[in-house]
A and B are shown apart, each in its own frame.
Chain A
Amino acid sequence: MATFAVPPRYRAASVWALYALGLLPGFYAFYLGIYGGLGADPVREFEHRLGFWALRFLCLGLAVTPLRDLFGTNLIAYRRALGLIAFYYVLAHFAVYLTLDRGLILSSILGDILKRPYIMLGMAGLLMLIPLALTSNRWSIRKLGSRWNTLHKLAYPILLAAVLHYVLSIKSITLEPVIYLAIVTALVGYRVVRPRIMDWKRGRRLLAR
């Protein structure tokens, strides 16, 4: 199978380009919000856009492994950036919820978190992301060894929490949430069948020898 990979000498620069490109929609939404370009309810629109970008980058981060397994496209060098960009969007989404949306009124925020399943799911996703963000460095990978891999499997429950947080927050099911649900189901479902696919590929390689 043909293998795609960015030449090593461009890799560092392309990772930085990804950070810049990935965070751009968030800054653009902020700019639109400041200058009245987000419609009649700019706070809600800004909050929602940040949430959508978080969900999209979570999906992209978890698409790296299946892309390599199935199409030979190796984007592993970008996975940390994809995950961290998602984390920054989640933090911004949460910060906007606390400040611009709920106005830092703690009673209302605590009531929300304790009573509302979709807010609980969002909070759970954020809490699970924190250890992943904190250990997304070479030192932690070396220190944790195989436990790092186990820890970072949290990405799957995080993605499920994120998409359910979105789907449960809306009034009626339309095409958009169905598309996100389908993508997330495919990404998480792939994890379940992956061992069998890898066995089959290994078997073919042995036969080819």
Chain B
Amino acid sequence: ASPLSAKPSAYRVDEKVTSKQDATTYNNFYEFGTGKADPAQNSAAFKPLPWTITVGGLVNKPQTIDMETILKDFPMEERIYRMRCVEAWSMVIPWIGFPLSALLDRVEPLGSAKYVAFETVVRPKEMPGQSGFFQPLDWPYVEGLRLDEARHPLTLLATGLYGETLPNQNGAPIRLVTPWKYGFKGIKSIVKITLTEKEPPSTWNRLAPQEYGFYANVNPAVDHPRWSQATERRIGEASGLFGGARMNTLPFNGYADQVAGLYAGMDLRKFY
């Protein structure tokens, strides 16, 4: 990771930021292994540069953009967001990035576009989780958003954190951040973005549809079938083993006033 400058933005939660050490060594990125420490340990061989993203599908101006152009053309801002994992732990992370809507504006979605599909890179030689006998997921990792969710001002394409470019284990060189949704929606190391008419597949939903929905909005009232989502443990709050009390999980991870309107009239128990 190298230094990355960004202007501060108004999007910042007033909570203690998780230590960089914790945010960069406690990760879910199954392409590098299923253990929390695996991504930091197994991602040294991954080459995030050079990199291009292909944006296409139902758009007027399909294009392939390289990272240099992205960093030059889109003004980077720092945003401090809560991050809530579906496994009931959470962090507060200072991301650097730009709104996904800015990228969408550039490719001009057609009127028929209703969804945005994302795809992670597949490089078994650099990503040990993608090779071998036992592979936990089908590759590539895919995710999706409804177009209005993708255009929401909170939705960020992140290129850095803690004042630096993204480390490999956090999804270098570019990833999605949707702070009102569970962390697995934040697809990492994106190579392809496609505008579609139909709801695109998402990796965890495909693996266990009863457990992980397409929407995956943080919701303390709808439990994961196997564990409660009512509370969470904030990483780094405990000193050693003690003092890390669980805190209540907030609807839409505390962003309800900004995003609840996207789901007006929807039964969130059904569309979890």
Contacts and interface: CB of A to CB of B under 8 A. Distances in A.
Interface of A: 30, 33-36, 38-44, 46, 100, 102-103, 105, 108, 111-112, 115-118, 168-169, 171-175, 178
A34 B228 contact: no
A115 B30 CA distance: 28
A178 B244 contact: no
Contact of B207 (A43, A100, A108, A172): A172
A102 B245 CA distance: 8
Given A33-B240, A39-B25, A118-B226, 14 more contacts: A35-B240, A38-B241, A39-B36, A40-B22, A40-B26, A41-B89, A43-B238, A43-B244, A100-B242, A103-B245, A105-B246, A116-B226, A171-B87, A174-B136
A39 B89 CA distance: 14
Contacts, number: 72
17 contacts: A40-B22, A40-B36, A41-B233, A43-B241, A100-B242, A103-B245, A108-B231, A108-B246, A112-B227, A116-B226, A116-B227, A117-B226, A168-B226, A172-B136, A172-B137, A174-B134, A178-B134
Contacts of B21: 40
Contacts of B227: 112, 116
B240 A34 contact: yes
A33 to B, nearest CB: 4
Contacts of B226: 116-118, 168-169
Given A100-B244, A174-B134, A41 B36 contact: yes
Majority secondary structure, B binding face: loop
Nearest to A115: B223
A112 B227 CA distance: 7
Interface of B: 21-22, 25-26, 30, 34, 36-37, 87, 89, 133-134, 136-137, 207, 223, 226-228, 230-231, 233, 235-236, 238, 240-242, 244-246
A118 B211 CA distance: 15
A118 B226 CA distance: 7
B233 A44 contact: yes
Nearest to A33: B241
A42 B235 CA distance: 9
A25 to B, nearest CB: 16
A98 to B, nearest CB: 13
A41 B136 CA distance: 22
B152 to A, nearest CB: 27
Q: 6 closest Cβ contacts across the A-B interface?
A: A40-B26, A40-B22, A33-B241, A172-B136, A175-B134, A34-B240
Contacts of A172: 30, 34, 136-137, 207
B241 A34 contact: yes
B26 A41 contact: yes
Contacts of A35: 240
Contacts of B230: 108
Nearest to A171: B87
A46 B233 CA distance: 14
A40 B133 CA distance: 29
Given A34-B240, A108-B230, A168-B226, A40 B235 contact: yes
A46 to B, nearest CB: 6
Contacts of B134: 173-175, 178
A173 B240 contact: no
Contacts of A34: 240-241
Contacts of B207: 172
A39 B37 contact: yes
A34 B134 CA distance: 34
A208 to B, nearest CB: 44
A41 B235 contact: yes
A89 to B, nearest CB: 16
Contacts of A30: 241
Contacts of A171: 87
Contacts of A102: 246
A108 B233 CA distance: 14
A46 B36 contact: no
